[in-house]
């Protein structure tokens, strides 16, 4: 297979050759998909039971290979759907479609069958809306759902050649550390950029974007509706206290945290919780670093640990920290361990996250009431 230059530079010549190879691969795959079962037979012997059409298709298959390879070598253009033409998908979506993403308008010519996701959140969204069968590769952090085809692709240091090896017809990213988007678009590979959501509305929008892009509009709308209903019920079921509870959300054991002006802070805000980090130095960034002294003096009613998996933190390790045994959350047993991944991927499982928080508050309320 032709490879891009090892230094990572995408030249005009390399783009033309790679485009031609991609077109040839897609041409052959389409021929196989539309052809008869005879295409898959390796024997060249005559089969009396074959229909004439099958024999003709099998006989012409070597010519298809030659034609595809010639197209790859010469960089010849294969026919494309005319502008404005559409392809019906499952009776609800038509292609081409245009998605309004963070990187602007993204046009997707045809129903994507080879999606590469370099975003763990997008991976969860794709599978949740029923597009999992269209995903051929995900990055090395996309560990959910378990059936996601994890690879060694990196979302932080993406390699254009490694991505192109999967012959994708759509790539979803959460950030562009260099010129990834430009390089992939030079290969005629559409790219959807979905940065970290700042609110639930952002999450809903991203799910709907992927629904349009993958031909799963109805499933995406149903998922968003379900999430909204569940969140509404969870908020309504959350207990009320005599005074607003305060909390500390720990990102790591060096006391980095998130304020109320972040996605996770807004989730806590739905339940009326108050963030001890809001008046702290550096709070304007959204993610200030506090000190042990600051946290002890703030005396939060609840401590949420989003560093259980990465850093081995727990209610027990928190209680062993000097001076922390005097914090209200430690005294009442309201140090809540969270799944790091769920706490940092603001997609469909944000409902699960909110449920864990509400359950912790309910336990605290029962303890106070008894």
Question: Over the stretch 61-88, which tens digit does the pLDDT of each residue have?
Answer: 444 444 444 444 444 333 333 333 333 3
Kindly tell me if the per-residue pLDDT of 31 is higher than 80: no
Report whether the peptide linkage leading into residue 21 is cis, meaning its omega lies within 30 degrees of zero: no
Residue 141, SS3 per DSSP = coil
Assign 60 a pLDDT band (cuts: 50, 70, 90).
very low
For the whole prediction, is pTM greater than 0.75? yes
Any idea which of 37-41, 121-125, 212-216, 294-298 has the lowest mean pLDDT?
37-41
CB atoms within 10 A of CB 194: 25
Q: Which of 106, 306, 298 is nearest to 192 (CA)?
A: 106
Mean pLDDT of 122-149: 98
Any idea which of 35-44, 213-222, 325-334 has the lowest mean pLDDT?
35-44
Q: What is the pLDDT at residue 93?
A: 65
DSSP class of residue 134 equals G
Kindly tell me if the per-residue pLDDT of 128 is higher than 90: yes
Instruction: Tell me whether the CATH fold assigned to 92-223 matches the one assigned to 238-369.
Output: yes
CB atoms within 10 A of CB 8: 12
Report whether the peptide linkage leading into residue 74 is cis, meaning its omega lies within 30 degrees of zero: no
Q: What is the pLDDT at residue 58?
A: 46
Assign 91 a pLDDT band (cuts: 50, 70, 90).
very low
We find that the CATH architecture of domain 92-223 is 3-Layer(aba) Sandwich (3.40)
Q: What is the pLDDT at residue 368?
A: 72
Any idea which of 56-60, 164-168, 284-288, 338-342 has the lowest mean pLDDT?
56-60
Mean pLDDT of 112-118: 98
Mean pLDDT of 116-139: 98
* Helices then strands, each counted (H, E), the chain: 14, 12
Output b/e per residue, 68-87; b: 16+ Cβ within 10 A: beebbeeeeeeeeeeeeeee
Assign 145 a pLDDT band (cuts: 50, 70, 90).
very high
Q: Extract the tokens encoding 234.
A: 């969870």
Q: Tell me the CATH number for domain 238-369.
A: 3.40.50.1980
Residues contacting residue 121 through CB under 8 Å, at least 6 positions apart: 174, 194, 196, 197, 206, 345, 346, 347
Cβ atoms of 212 and 192 within 8 Å: the answer is no
Assign 26 a pLDDT band (cuts: 50, 70, 90).
low
Mean pLDDT of 340-357: 96
Q: Which of 111, 51, 59 is nearest to 87 (CA)?
A: 111
Listed by start position, the domains of the chain span 12-74, 92-223, 238-369
């Amino acid at each position: 297979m032709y490879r891009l230059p090892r230094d990572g530079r995408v030249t005009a010549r390399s783009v033309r050759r790679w485009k031609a190879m991609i077109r040839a691969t897609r041409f052959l795959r389409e021929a196989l998909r539309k052809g008869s079962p005879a295409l898959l037979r390796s024997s060249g012997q005559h089969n009396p039971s074959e229909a004439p059409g099958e024999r003709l298709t099998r006989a012409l298959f070597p010519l298809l290979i030659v034609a595809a390879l010639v197209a790859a070598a010469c960089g010849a253009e294969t026919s494309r759907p005319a502008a404005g033409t559409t392809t019906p998908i499952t009776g609800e979506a038509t292609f081409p479609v245009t998605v309004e993403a963070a990187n602007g308008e993204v046009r997707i010519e045809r129903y994507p069958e080879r999606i590469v996701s370099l975003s763990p959140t997008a991976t969860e969204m794709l599978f949740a809306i029923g597009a999992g069968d269209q995903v051929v590769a995900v990055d090395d952090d996309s560990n959910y759902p378990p059936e996601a085809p994890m690879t060694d692709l990196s979302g932080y240091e993406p390699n254009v050649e490694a991505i192109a090896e999967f012959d994708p017809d759509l790539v979803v990213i959460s950030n562009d550390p260099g010129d990834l988007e430009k390089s992939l678009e030079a290969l005629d590979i559409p790219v959807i950029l979905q940065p970290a959501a700042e609110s639930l509305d952002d999450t809903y929008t991203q799910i709907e974007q992927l629904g349009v892009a993958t031909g799963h509009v109805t499933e995406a709308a149903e998922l968003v509706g379900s999430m909204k209903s569940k969140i509404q019920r969870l908020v309504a079921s959350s207990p009320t206290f005599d005074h607003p509870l305060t909390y500390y959300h720990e990102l790591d054991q060096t006391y980095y945290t998130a304020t109320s002006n972040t996605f996770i802070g807004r989730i806590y805000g739905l339940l009326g919780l108050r963030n001890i980090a809001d008046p702290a130095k550096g709070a304007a960034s959204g993610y200030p670093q506090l000190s042990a002294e600051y946290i002890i003096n703030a005396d939060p009613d609840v401590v949420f640990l989003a560093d259980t998996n990465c850093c081995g933190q727990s209610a027990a390790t928190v209680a062993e920290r000097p001076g922390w045994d005097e914090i209200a959350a430690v005294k009442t047993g309201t140090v809540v361990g969270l799944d790091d991944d769920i706490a940092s991927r603001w997609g469909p499982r944000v409902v699960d996250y909110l449920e864990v928080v509400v359950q912790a508050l309910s336990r605290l309320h029962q303890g106070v009431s008894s």
